[in-house]
C-alpha cells in the first residue's frame, strides 16, 4: 500500500514534465507541417490548409462559377472552408491524444 502522504520525487516529476513538454513541442511541429485538403459536398470547391491554420489554396470548379450565383457560391466556399477546419481539428486531436492520455495518468 502506498503512503498517500509521501512526498513525490521532485526530480522524477520534473523529468516527466520535461519529457512531456518535448513531446508536445515535437507533435506541434508535426501538426504545423501537416497539409489538409477538404471539399464541399459536391466537390465544387477544394481547400488546402496547413496545420497552422493558414489556407494555401481554394480551388473552384469552373462549372460552379457558371452554375451558381455569388451568394450560393460563397456558401459552397464556406462549406469547404469549414470542412477543412474540422478535418484539421480532428487530425490535430488525433496527434495530441496520446500525450493528453499520458498526462492524465500522472
The stretch 77-101 carries a mean pLDDT of 90
> Per the structure, how many domains does the chain have?
1
The stretch 85-100 carries a mean pLDDT of 87
Is the torsion defined by CA of 20, 34, 41, 57 positive or negative?
positive
Q: Is residue 3 part of a domain?
A: no
Instruction: Report which of 106, 98, 105, 102 is spatially closest to residue 30, judged by C-alpha positions.
Output: 98
Q: Is residue 58 part of a domain?
A: yes
Residue of 1 and 24 predicted with greater confidence: 24
CATH assignment of the domain containing 62: 3.30.1310.10
pLDDT (0 to 100) of residue 13: 80
Q: Range of 98's domain? A: 8-105
Q: Is residue 1 part of a domain?
A: no
pLDDT (0 to 100) of residue 38: 97
Residue 73 has pLDDT above 80, yes or no: yes
Amino acid at each position: 500500500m502506498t503512503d498517500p502522504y509521501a512526498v513525490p520525487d521532485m526530480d522524477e516529476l520534473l523529468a516527466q514534465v520535461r519529457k512531456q513538454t518535448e513531446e508536445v513541442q515535437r507533435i506541434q511541429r508535426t501538426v504545423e507541417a501537416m497539409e489538409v485538403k477538404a471539399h464541399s459536398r459536391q466537390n465544387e470547391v477544394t481547400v488546402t490548409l496547413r496545420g497552422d491554420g493558414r489556407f494555401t489554396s481554394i480551388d473552384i470548379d469552373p462549372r460552379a462559377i457558371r452554375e451558381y450565383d455569388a451568394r450560393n457560391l460563397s456558401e459552397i466556399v464556406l462549406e469547404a472552408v469549414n470542412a477543412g477546419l474540422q478535418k484539421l481539428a480532428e487530425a490535430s486531436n488525433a496527434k495530441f491524444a496520446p500525450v493528453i492520455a499520458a498526462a492524465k495518468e500522472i
